[in-house]
Amino acid sequence: MKTTLLGLVVLFCVTAVSCKTETSTMKEFDPNFAHVVYFWLKNPDSQEDRKAFEASLKKFLSTSEYAQTQFIGQPANTPREVVDNSWTYSIILTFPSKEIQNKYQQEPVHLKFIEEAEHLWERVQVYDAVGLE
């Protein structure tokens, strides 16, 4: 019984440390400027296109000097009248200011991502928002 309990405590501690380490590498959400982008791939059923898009996107985001929060998502397929599930991928990036977001737009790794991946998408929709004060 003591061995089982000790094993569970050790497992809990390892899990907690692992989760803490993973969480601590995430960048905080900056409420000053949010940049939300939706991508519709030309061939959303192509695993090859998806892999190429994801690889290019992850490479870009891992090297961006300006993008803080870096969320990559796919439709949650929540069937409600007000929900659009037609897109293939989304990203949510945050910035401390509009000026920093403007620098991001001209960042070489951002421009390289567009060059590498634009042949894969048929549509991109962007929603930029500034936080309320």
In-domain check, residue 41 = yes
In-domain check, residue 8 = no
Structural domain boundaries, residue 118: 27-130
pLDDT one-digit tens code per residue, 54-90: 999 999 999 999 988 889 999 999 989 999 999 999 9
In-domain check, residue 87 = yes
How confident is the model at residue 10, as a pLDDT? Answer: 35
> In the chain, how many domains are there?
1
* CA–CA separation, 22 and 16 (whole Å): 10
CATH of the domain at 73: 3.30.70.100
pLDDT one-digit tens code per residue, 2-53: 443 333 333 333 333 333 334 444 467 778 899 999 999 999 999 999 999 9
User: Could you please report the per-residue DSSP string of 33-91?
Assistant: EEEEEEEEESSTT-HHHHHHHHHHHHHHHHH-SS--SEEEE-------TT-----SEEE
**Rounded to two decimals, what is the model's pTM?**
0.77
In-domain check, residue 21 = no
In-domain check, residue 1 = no
In-domain check, residue 5 = no
